[in-house]
Chains A and B, each alone.
Chain A
């Protein structure tokens, strides 16, 4: 502990590493069978903001025979100090070296955190590649949304879990513990684990390339399954949920409680990764949410509780839920926040219910500035409806509006961008006192979506469109944010990447690339140099793909059929909309089952 204090005195933000938060779980090391270090490969303040991370922490500690402690990618200052003093990376709960645990399990939710995996492994004195680890090392596991294309990180992990962990985790632990008793080798463990739906063991396969392109993934053993299907929880109501989450001491990115009211989304936006991989839409009942909110407040003291879902408006009876929560929390000084509101009038009613007398700002992700383009991406929003919404919002005193857009969308032309400029000007005209904040991200084609074959737009085109926007929207009422092109470029490469990227990531990491999702740390020249040195053309990862081309994630299924994705893509090009999915009322036959 004294060693640790000497180090912490020298780092910029020691509070990231002190543990001691309210609701952490510390168990007797000698009284459990399985010890898990749960890792998030980004800084503490990012990792602790992810609900998925807290859910896994809770699921693991919920088992009497299992303990789970946390570890995050340390800041560069602490990384250097640990190396200099030859100290291993430690868990936050008991400051134990990570390589003392049975499992090191990573929660992965963003491709640009992948270098953090290598930092954590290396600082824990664990070999980075799975082929170099025998039974004496912890089992290295990954899960989370981005592993639906597991290939770019396939060489680092022993086991990758595809899907939602709530049910499967217990099965995995049981199999593991039985194997541990048996003292058999790792292959024996893998043989047993692959019987569990959702388990993918990358080392059982070999990737084949032809003319510099991915060709296929072949199983090395007859018992390795050729298709891995995503595992999900069908009854969200019965899924365990942490109403006693860890309350951080230092401020984090999302410094509030979160209750997941709904999982999945019925809107079928064609670019949206979450919209495809979390199908079908499932939700918790009003009574359960009220109970969770009460428990969460008592266990955390949070001033704000966020009601998480991909599309709040679509929660059945959302008004009734908000009325009930307002009633339950009368006089308790708790705010409820609603992310992902659609830009319609109903949203204003909902926002009024949660904001009461305070009119902070309204945020709408309208994604594209023209109706034509919104039809392409299936973001069903009519301009007329949008303006009616704004009209009401302004008349009720919401003068601050935040709008999220994407640029570089399929079929987008400069004309769409000029029309976006006109749209914003029209808003300002409507209300001269309005403050409009615009945020432009760059479209990244994601696996398992209808746009998985699309190209990631060229730098020049994006820069040209940015400058059209910048020049056209010079006004004191407007502020504009553009996402960094290099960052999206790297995200695009890794989103649709293959196994060759494991080597590239390792080399970039060795050359000092860290925290690629932080503008101040991203060094794109390192990556360009490595692609060049290894003679791998990054263009292959970002260009448009033909429909019959093998894709590196073809062996992973999230339930949505490829033929449905192709059909949706065709509709996109024709500007045809797909109505929201309502099981039993309006089904578009995507292939996902609503029952287990």
Chain B
């Protein structure tokens, strides 16, 4: 883990509890929920649902929920994952349905599995991004894309917490599709996690001489199969 993603979201799960891994989408105005608020928001919904959530030990017991790589404020997601522990077995479909009843329509679970093998961060393969952008200088834009595709390595500077880091975009991005829609471009990026470090969608825009205007960004978290 590097400074970008606080470790506080990782709760270590013990054996006697049943762990479920659920996928949810978040869209519309709910994309503005911060990751810290998300944990509270999910916990309270879970407590309302009546599901037998297990709690951490200690003076300030909290429901055992762990979010994966936090989704930044303002970004929609087609798929985010989280793990929860229940104190006894409930059919996984019921877990999903009961929890969904306590959540708004723009944030709903749509997939669930039982007993994942490892922590969410460990099991995360990477993140796919869809960037909707407005391009000012099209010729220069296309040249930049071509140069990126031909290069073996493309280093950019990114902020990770307090630090500035140099990362090679080519190592992270393993697939890229570009499509023109009306006067806008759509970029689809498939990125992978390397040594617990990921890239954020908007960081890709660093490769351009004239930085395009980012209109919308949607992400999707992909797990190892």
Identify B45's interface contact among A1, A4, A22, CB under 8 A. A22
Closest B residue to A249 by beta carbon equals B41
The interface residues of chain A lying within 8 Å CB-to-CB of B63 are 333
Identify A18's interface contact among B32, B46, B55, CB under 8 A. B32
- CB of A15 within 8 A of CB of B43, answer no
The interface residues of chain A lying within 8 Å CB-to-CB of B36 are 251
Tell me, in angstroms, the Cα distance from A308 to B73 when the chains sit together. Answer: 34
Binary interface encoding of chain B residues 26-47 relative to chain A, with 1 for a CB under 8 A from any of its CBs, else 0: 0011101110110011011111
Identify B30's interface contact among A18, A297, A299, A333, CB under 8 A. A18
Identify B48's interface contact among A9, A20, A300, CB under 8 A. A300
Binary interface encoding of chain A residues 375-416 relative to chain B, with 1 for a CB under 8 A from any of its CBs, else 0: 000000000000000000000000000000000000000000
18 more A-B contacts (CB under 8 A) besides A247-B44, A298-B48, A299-B48?
Answer: A1-B28, A14-B29, A14-B73, A14-B74, A15-B73, A18-B32, A18-B33, A20-B29, A20-B30, A20-B106, A22-B102, A22-B104, A251-B36, A251-B37, A303-B44, A333-B47, A333-B55, A333-B61
Task: Report if B174 contacts A (CB, 8 A).
Answer: no
Closest A residue to B45 by beta carbon equals A301
Min C-beta distance of B40 to chain A, whole Å: 7
Identify A301's interface contact among B33, B47, B60, B74, CB under 8 A. B47
Tell me, in angstroms, the Cα distance from A18 to B30 when the chains sit together. Answer: 7
Interface residues of A in 282-337 (CB under 8 A from B): 297-303, 333
Task: Report if B12 contacts A (CB, 8 A).
Answer: no
The interface residues of chain A lying within 8 Å CB-to-CB of B34 are 15, 250
- CB of B44 within 8 A of CB of A22, answer yes
Tell me, in angstroms, the Cα distance from A297 to B59 when the chains sit together. Answer: 20
Interface residues of A in 315-373 (CB under 8 A from B): 333, 357-358
The interface residues of chain B lying within 8 Å CB-to-CB of A300 are 44, 48
Residues of B within 8 A of A (CB): 28-30, 32-34, 36-37, 40-41, 43-48, 55, 59-61, 63, 73-74, 102, 104, 106
Chain A count of residues within 8 A CB distance of the other chain: 26
Most chain-B CB neighbours within 10 Å: which of A4, A5, A14, A301? A301
Tell me, in angstroms, the Cα distance from A19 to B33 when the chains sit together. Answer: 11
Identify B29's interface contact among A5, A298, A302, A357, CB under 8 A. A5
Interface residues of A in 242-285 (CB under 8 A from B): 247, 249-251, 255
Tell me, in angstroms, the Cα distance from A299 to B102 when the chains sit together. Answer: 9
Tell me, in angstroms, the Cα distance from A8 to B102 when the chains sit together. Answer: 25
**25 A-B pairs whose Cβ atoms sit less than 8 Å apart in the complex:** A14-B32, A15-B33, A18-B29, A18-B32, A19-B29, A20-B28, A20-B30, A20-B106, A22-B44, A22-B102, A22-B104, A249-B30, A299-B48, A300-B44, A301-B43, A301-B44, A301-B46, A301-B48, A303-B44, A333-B47, A333-B55, A333-B61, A333-B63, A357-B59, A358-B59
Most chain-A CB neighbours within 10 Å: which of B32, B60, B74? B32
Min C-beta distance of B98 to chain A, whole Å: 13
Binary interface encoding of chain A residues 1-32 relative to chain B, with 1 for a CB under 8 A from any of its CBs, else 0: 10011001100001100111010000000000
Min C-beta distance of B163 to chain A, whole Å: 23
The interface residues of chain A lying within 8 Å CB-to-CB of B60 are 358
Q: A251-B37, A333-B55, A333-B61 are in contact. Are A8 and B29 (CB under 8 A)?
A: yes
The interface residues of chain B lying within 8 Å CB-to-CB of A298 are 48
Tell me, in angstroms, the Cα distance from A251 to B33 when the chains sit together. Answer: 10
Tell me, in angstroms, the Cα distance from A9 to B32 when the chains sit together. Answer: 9
Min C-beta distance of B36 to chain A, whole Å: 7
Identify A8's interface contact among B32, B47, B55, B106, CB under 8 A. B32
Tell me, in angstroms, the Cα distance from A14 to B37 when the chains sit together. Answer: 12
Min C-beta distance of B57 to chain A, whole Å: 12
The interface residues of chain B lying within 8 Å CB-to-CB of A247 are 44
Most chain-A CB neighbours within 10 Å: which of B28, B47, B55, B61? B47
Closest B residue to A250 by beta carbon equals B37
- CB of B44 within 8 A of CB of A15, answer no
Min C-beta distance of A296 to chain B, whole Å: 11
